[in-house]
Amino acid sequence: MRTQAVVGGVGMTRFGKQMDRGLKDLGAEAVNSAVADAGLTLDDMQAAFVGNCAAGTVTGQESIRGQVILDPLGVGRIPIVNVENACASGSTAFYLACAMVTAGIHDVVLALGVEKLSHPDKTVSFAAFAGAVDVEEVQALLAGLAAQAEDSGANGGGGAGGAGKGRSMFMDIYAGAARSHMERWGTTAEQFAAVASKNSYHGSLNPRAQFREALSVDDVMQSTMIVPPLTRPMCSPIGDGAAAVVVVSEAKARALGISRPVHVATTVLHSGWNHAVGEGGTVELCSKEAYEEAGIGPDDLDVVELHDASAPAEVMMYESLGLCAPGEGGKLAESGETRLGGRLPVNTSGGLLRKGHPVGATGTAQIVELTEQLRGSSGDRQVEGARIGLAQNGGGKKGNDAAAMCVTVLRS
């Protein structure tokens, strides 16, 4: 018998560079908070899905990451499944936890996303991102990025040679997409800066955010150029953190007496493919399916957490999610409509740009933020009357698309 999944409890750490903390410590804080929030104990967990992307590269821990992280908490015996799916690892863990509940296999399932990215040697951290593309095609990808940058006259800010060394190669990928968007639609760097400024304001209100300083558009534009047109505040930072969600069945939610349940209207997961130019990709596929399954459209959304690994990514996601027409993302960014108090607040957490992006934890952190918004417990970041929230989280690159993409709709 199918049942709807309910978010029973959430918890997360502060995000940021935490050199003195490991995966076990970070995971324990998030898990204990989520379990307590659900009014349960660790003994109540019937299964666990643990999302992590980079431990094998950064810490050397492979194969049994979830078992290692949960063991100090006394969690064993139950099925513990390790989930690695690029930057979508956390949201994929949540997707699988919800699947177990909706299928009637379990009543209480833990979804944990946890990541340790900071390392004394930054090249180790950047190497973790290099593995999120086809390693047999890395040199061809880097050559293509360099050629595109050369053609557009965008070799400043460290040049294409810095990709994967002085910065994540994904910033070069986003920069290339940004330049193409600017050329096709007339989008401006100032519009990208408006995203970073807006998210910095939201992050300034979030005590768990990696960066708490509010920046103006001018501040963003005048910051260090990483790779044109991306200045430093337009790029998500490297950091550490964990976020956990306890997913329960409707029957369990009633038994727990949850007064303001947050229902999982749908969660959709797809993989990328080499689609034709002009054809929608994973975001369009996932969001169309999510809207249909939830019985809503973009106009019904009250709050959105999306994957702003760069400021241009947020602009492009506006369009892919149907929040505006194609080519209108830049105008939406500068309109103020996606700011707290606007028509549709986006990334009230501060997004990846300011809350931070410990990649394996990002997807579950989005669920934490939306759950708190739909419960009405977000404090200074609260979206008045929020009832429907959407999370979009993707990662990796395969061909001309993301390798993995997840879109989730929550409803209070």
Please choose, from the candidates 345, 385, 391, the residue with its C-alpha nearest in 3D space to the C-alpha of residue 368. 391
How far apart, in whole angstroms, are the C-alpha atoms of residue 364 and residue 34?
A: 11
Backbone phi, psi, residue 144, to 5°: -65, -40
Return the minimum-mean-pLDDT range out of 170-174, 199-203, 223-227, 296-300.
170-174
Which pLDDT belongs to residue 160? 47
Return the minimum-mean-pLDDT range out of 43-52, 78-87, 132-141, 259-268.
132-141
How far apart, in whole angstroms, are the C-alpha atoms of residue 167 and residue 226?
A: 8
Which pLDDT belongs to residue 247? 98
Amino acid in the structure at residue 379: G
CA distances for 18 relative to 15, 26, 269, 393, angstroms: 8, 9, 31, 23
Neighbours of 260 (CB within 10 A): 10
Half-sphere exposure of 206 (CA within 13 A, CB side): 33
Q: Where are the alpha helices (DSSP H) in 76-168?
A: 89-102, 122-130, 138-152
Amino acid in the structure at residue 173: I
How far apart, in whole angstroms, are the C-alpha atoms of residue 196 and residue 355?
A: 12
Region of residue 196 (phi > 0: left; psi between -120 and 50: alpha; otherwise: beta):
alpha
How far apart, in whole angstroms, are the C-alpha atoms of residue 99 and residue 109?
A: 10
157 has a pLDDT exceeding 70: no
Question: Structure pTM?
Answer: 0.95
357 is annotated as an active-site residue: yes
Which member of 87, 235, 286, 406 is catalytic? 87
Please give the full DSSP string across 226-290, using - where no structure is assigned: EETTEEGGGBPPP-EEEEEEEEEEHHHHHHHT-SS-EEEEEEEEEE---PPTTS--HHHHHHHHH
**Rounded mean pLDDT, 146-158:** 62
Residues 6+ apart with CB under 8 A from 71: none
Beta bridge partners of 246: 9, 110
Domains in the chain and their CATH numbers? 5-120+239-264 (3.40.47.10)
302 has a pLDDT exceeding 90: yes
Beta bridge partners of 244: 11, 112
Return the minimum-mean-pLDDT range out of 115-124, 126-135, 156-165, 285-294.
156-165
How far apart, in whole angstroms, are the C-alpha atoms of residue 405 and residue 401?
A: 10
Task: Tell me how long the chain is.
Answer: 412
How far apart, in whole angstroms, are the C-alpha atoms of residue 358 and residue 361?
A: 6
Which pLDDT belongs to residue 2? 64
User: What is the per-residue pLDDT across 212-239, written as a single tens digit (0 to 9) for each?
Assistant: 999 999 999 999 999 999 999 999 999 9
Amino acid in the structure at residue 88: A
119 is annotated as an active-site residue: no
**Rounded mean pLDDT, 56-85:** 97
Which pLDDT belongs to residue 159? 47
**Rounded mean pLDDT, 192-209:** 98
Which member of 106, 270, 357, 406 is catalytic? 357
Q: Are the CB atoms for 364 and 52 separated by under 8 Å?
A: no
Which pLDDT belongs to residue 153? 65
User: What is the per-residue pLDDT across 245-256, written as a single tens digit (0 to 9) for each?
Assistant: 999 999 999 999
In this structure, the strands spanning 80-83 and 230-231 are unpaired
Mean pLDDT of the chain: 93
